[in-house]
Amino acid sequence: MPSGASTREETRVIEAYADAKPTIAAEVSPETPLESLNLNWRERDLPEKQRTKHVHRLHPYLGKFIPQLVEVFLRKYFQPGQTVADPFAGSGTTLVQANELGIHSIGYDISAFNVLLMRAKTERCDPAKLESEVRDAINAVRRTNCTAARIPELDDEMTDDEPVDSDYLRHWYAPEALRELLTFRSAIMRANPRYELILKVILCRAARSARLTTHFDLDFPKQPTTEPYYCYKHSRTCEPTRDAMKFLERYAADTVARVAEFQALRTDADVTIIHADSAKARVAKIDGIITSPPYVGLIDYHEQHAYAYHLLGLKDRRSEEIGAAANGQSERAKRKYQEAIANVFDRFVKKMPSGGPIIVVAGDKHNLYPRIAELIGVETEAVLHRHVNRRTGRRNNAFFESVFIWRKR
């Protein structure tokens, strides 16, 4: 779409706010006309608490779509017992929402942390037993803190429990914070393996907040902050974080509550998570696709969780990402991105029945997706545009994204 046409469409979408009733995801059915959908939810229409319900906020993740958007298209195009695939499953939003509705799901991702997070969100567990395991891990940190208070020099003796690659951890964490994180990590090794993944997510979420960085720059901090600074988040002078315990306790309690909430909603629908490059992995028979592919040259999906890779010893495969941030947004990079995305979709579409839906949510400011549709030979049923005007932290700028609705011929 030419830039002028794009601007006119964006203006039309914004003007529609005043007249159209925002869509309620639970009210959508296969009979709901696409033209009746108003996906431009404002804060008062869809508060943050609803957008981040239960396990969707087990851990921050940049670039994910909101569960209500996924629910709309699951209800419109899929039935319980069918199977939806997400070739770029990310934090698992499609998988979680599909399970809620009794729809089988298969998610693929090349990132080790993404796979860990998805499995932690979707696996079955006993909330009471999880709470007990979490309490034991937190108590292990408390006991170590008591010992450290009696033996101050303990901070200089963390060599036995440090991972091989410890430079990153020493660089980004104060000694007390690092000791607490490593103690919690050790406690995970002694926990019931059934709850290991959820405990690791708690550890990583606390590690994200406990870094030596400003409160308002947790996404991609460039250098550790070791001195007091003016905090744009709190509008005052703040001190760098020196400990991790407060985050471990806070996120432990929050995680237990969120997991329990989802377990009460969880159905018997299958959730299959495959740690692999979706351009090469074996693809099973599916009924359709709902996905939000990576952006081209914008987000380093591995770097945003660097602390997890270092704490847990995960393998970094960022060089294999489609649209890797390091490759930039040159015309050549865009062409390679189109070809790579089309290759993935083509592999999955071949496993779908004729007429099967492919729902793709993308911030397509470079107008790359019409060509991708041509490359895979699908029929375009509709292209919906939505205004995303709710942001977090200092990333408060609104933007537009498109929902491409394709059908296999």
pLDDT at 20: 77
Residue 291, C-beta contacts closer than 8 angstroms, at least 6 positions apart: 85, 86, 87, 88, 89, 94, 359, 360, 361
Instruction: Return the structure tokens found at 387.
Output: 């205004």
Query: Is 80 exceeded by the pLDDT of residue 393?
Result: no
Helices (H), 243-312: 245-265, 306-312
Nearest to 263 by CA among 25, 26, 58: 58
129 vs 55: CA distance, rounded Å: 17
Predicted confidence band at 19 (pLDDT cuts at 50, 70, 90)?
A: low
Tell me the domains of the chain and their CATH numbers.
3-124+270-305+322-407 (3.40.50.150), 127-262 (no CATH)
Reply yes or no on whether the pLDDT at 163 is more than 50.
no
pLDDT at 216: 86
pLDDT tens column, 83-133: 999 999 999 999 999 999 999 999 999 999 999 999 999 999 999 999 999
Instruction: Tell me the pTM.
Output: 0.90
The Cα 111–Cα 275 span in angstroms is 7
- Ranges of beta strands (E only) in 161-278 are 229-231, 236-238, 271-275
pLDDT of residue 162: 45
CA distance 34 to 56: 26
Give the up-direction half-sphere exposure of residue 167: CA atoms within 13 A in the CB hemisphere: 0
Which stretch of 144-148, 166-170, 242-246, 321-325 has the lowest confidence by average pLDDT? 144-148
pLDDT, average across residues 259-264? 98
Residues with Cβ within 8 Å of 263's Cβ and at least 6 positions away in sequence, in order, are: 124, 125, 127
- Whether the predicted pLDDT of 50 surpasses 50: yes
Which of the four pLDDT bands, split at 50, 70 and 90, describes residue 397? low
Say yes or no to pLDDT of 149 above 60: no
pLDDT of residue 325: 86
3-state secondary structure of 109: strand
Share above pLDDT 90 across residues of the chain, in percent, rounded to a whole number: 76
- 216's tokens: 């308002």
291/275 Cα distance (integer angstroms) = 16
Alpha-carbon distance 100 to 310, whole Å?
Answer: 33
| pLDDT band at residue 220 under the 50/70/90 scheme | confident
pLDDT at 62: 87
**Which residue shows structure tokens 């649209």?**
323
pLDDT for 10 equals 58
Distance between CA atoms of residues 231 and 300, nearest Å: 25
Among 254, 340, 208, 188, smallest CA distance to 54 is for 254
Helices 331-349, 369-376: crossing angle, 10 deg rounding: 40
- What would the pLDDT profile of 320-377 be if each residue is shown by its tens digit? 999 888 889 999 999 999 999 999 999 999 999 999 999 999 999 999 999 999 999 9
Confidence of residue 158 (pLDDT cuts 50, 70, 90): very low
pLDDT averaged over every residue in the chain: 90
3-state DSSP call for residue 168? helix
Q: How far apart are CA 84 and CA 287, in angstroms?
A: 6
Q: Coil, helix or strand for 125?
A: coil
* pLDDT confidence of residue 24: 96
Q: Tell me the three state secondary structure of residue 271.
A: strand
Band of residue 394 on the pLDDT scale cut at 50, 70, 90: very low
pLDDT value, residue 38? 95
Distance, CA of 214 to CA of 230 (rounded, Å): 9
Residue 164 in this model has a pLDDT that exceeds 80: no
pLDDT at 151 over 60: no
Q: What is the pLDDT of residue 389?
A: 75
Of 85-89, 242-246, 275-279, 302-306, the range with the lowest mean pLDDT is 302-306
- Contact yes or no for 275/109 (Cβ under 8 A): yes
- Closest by Cα among 326, 325, 323, 305 to 315: 305
Please give the Cα distance from 202 to 58 (Å, whole number): 8
Q: Are 290 and 316 in contact (CB under 8 A)?
A: no
Query: Does pLDDT of 154 surpass 50?
Result: no
Does residue 97 contact residue 77 with C-beta atoms inside 8 Å? no
pLDDT at 8: 62
